[in-house]
Amino acid sequence: MIRKGDYYDVSIEKLVYKGWGLSQVNQFKVFVPNSLPGDKLQIKITQKYRSHAVGLPQKVLSASPLKKESPCQHFNHCGGCQLLNVDYNDQLALKTAILDDCIQSTYPELPCEPKPIIGTKNTTYYRNKMEFSFAQQDEHCVLGLKKRGQFDQVIPIKHCHLQSIDSNHILTFTQSFFDKSPLIGWDYRQNKGCLRNLIIRHSKTQDTYMVILVTAQAHPEIYNDYAQALQQHCPKIKSIYIAQTMDQNERSYYESTSLIWGDPVIYESIGKYRYQVSPFSFFQPHSILAETLYNEIKSACEPQKSDALIDCYCGTGSIGIFLSDQVKSVIGIEENPSAIKDAQTNMTLNQTQNMKFYEGRVKNILKFNKFTANTIVVDPPRSGLVPKALKRICAVGADKIIYTSCNPNTMLRDLKDMAELGYKATQIQPVDMFPQTFHMECVTQLKKI
């Protein structure tokens, strides 16, 4: 009988979703964070459930042959990366194994085999957006990323291998500036303080930056001094915002967002198309590989000039705009009003004449409007499709559905449900949009049976 607090010597068999290693103790599954296949570890059971347990490494008995020295001094504790200590080709093999494990556990009857994962040459300094957290430590205001597996502890970061060198300069300047100010970093247990987050957005094609400082209190003089000093320190910055929230929980929407310096947006390009990026709009995190991803979506659509296309969860319209010259018409559906506003602007920016956007939840827009389409593209949140949206997407009766997802488990769950509604998965193309982590993007083509 496995009990919480027990110690065991285990061998890690494989990596599974979340980037956790899988081991067995008396034929009972034990998931082990911060491990790799081939590791032999002493672990301590920290959580026990009916079907599995979770154990944390206490001692390395024998290290995996996949493991190498990480170039990042923060790697062992920082939650930003999980695979920075693994050669990139081995990362791709691990992600392939993770996807296979998801298929076996969620949809073993999947009627197609995934294609080889598409990798990238840009494996570090690739992210166009990073969100860092403030905290107060030993009377100092620090700035960094959350400690792996901890919501209330921040690892101070001076150099992150996921963002550009200039972004690191912005990070260290900001930490130094506010450490000298009277403002206090956020306390994640007591939910009090002033400084909460620093969000850095980087246009890879224009090499310009947007900075968003998230706070809980208004101190306009200090924020204006920061903005002036930061822009002089990094002239590539084009926009500086203050977003304020009094909410105790971390969130994506704020009570107020104010531009305190520069232009309201920056611009990014994918292929021949140009998109505006506003403070909280979604954009694929790997700008350089985004064109590859979108070309895979286009290929899966098999577009014809006479086609009508629906882009569900269209966000700022980037996928629909990218496909717009391949089809007759595009309808975009998105519930976020700010994203819809960006989508309208992006449509005008690219002189796209055959698109129309609907603001609202996918399940409601499809319920109260009658659409016909040859192809439907869906790129839902990581949680996947809600049941009513899934049923109404299938009820449109399109010839093809292209399902794009960064969560293979929820994607496979939805593919299984779509099969019962008459749609067969015919191909899956994984794309490594997230090097150094266990995440991946998958583009799945489904055809109406």
- What pLDDT score was predicted for residue 140? 94
Taking residue 355's Cβ as centre, other Cβ atoms within 10 Å add up to 23
pLDDT for the residue 249: 66
Residue appearing with tokens 């882009």: 311
CB atoms within 10 A of CB 207: 10
The residues with which 30 forms a beta bridge, in sequence order, are 23, 53
pLDDT tens, residue order, the chain (449 aa): 899 999 999 999 999 999 999 999 999 999 999 999 999 999 999 999 999 999 999 999 999 999 999 999 999 999 999 999 999 999 999 999 999 999 999 999 999 999 999 999 999 999 999 999 999 998 899 999 999 988 899 999 999 999 999 999 999 999 999 999 999 999 999 999 999 999 999 999 999 999 999 999 999 999 999 999 999 999 999 999 999 987 766 655 688 899 999 999 999 999 999 999 999 888 999 999 999 999 999 999 999 999 999 999 999 999 999 999 999 999 999 999 989 999 999 999 999 999 999 999 999 999 999 999 999 999 999 999 999 999 999 999 999 999 999 999 999 999 999 999 999 999 999 999 999 999 999 999 999 99
Query: For the chain, what is the largest distance between any 2 Cα atoms, rounded to a whole number of angstroms?
Result: 66
Dist CA 84 CA 145 (whole Å): 15
Rounded CA separation 55/318 (Å): 42
Token readout for 270 is: 């994918």
Alpha helices in 302-407 (DSSP H): 318-323, 337-349, 362-368, 387-395
Length of the chain in terms of residues written: 449
Give the Cα-Cα-Cα angle 102, 106, 107 (nearest 5 degrees).
105
Query: What is the pTM for the complete model shown?
Result: 0.94
Look up tokens 């076996």; give the residue: 104
Domains, the chain, with CATH or none: 7-67 (2.40.50.140), 96-121+286-448 (3.40.50.150), 129-270 (2.40.50.1070)
- What is the C-alpha to C-alpha distance for residues 229 and 218, in angstroms, rounded to an integer? 18
Find where tokens 């004449």 sit. Answer: 353
Hey, CA dihedral for 315, 316, 322, 323, is it positive or negative? positive
The predicted pLDDT at position 250 comes to 60
- Give residues with Cβ within 8 angstroms of 89, minimum separation 6: 119
Please give the sequence-ordered ranges of beta strands (E in DSSP) within 297-422, or none if there are none: 308-312, 329-334, 355-359, 375-378, 400-405
What's the CA gap between 95 and 168, in Å, rounded? 28
- pLDDT of 1 reads 82
Predicted pLDDT at 248:
66
| Sequential DSSP letters for 117-155 | PB--S--SS-BSEEEEEEEEETTEEEEEEEBTT-SS-EE
User: What pairing do the DSSP bridges indicate for beta strands 423-431 and 308-312?
Assistant: unpaired
Query: Could you tell me which residues come within 8 angstroms of residue 440 by beta carbon, excluding any fewer than 6 positions away?
Result: 95, 98, 99, 117, 406, 408, 430, 431, 432, 433, 434
Which residues make Cβ contacts (< 8 Å) with residue 341, sequence separation at least 6?
none
Strand, coil or helix: 218: coil
Structure tokens that stand for 19 in this block: 């980037």
- Cβ 311 vs Cβ 330: under 8 Å: yes
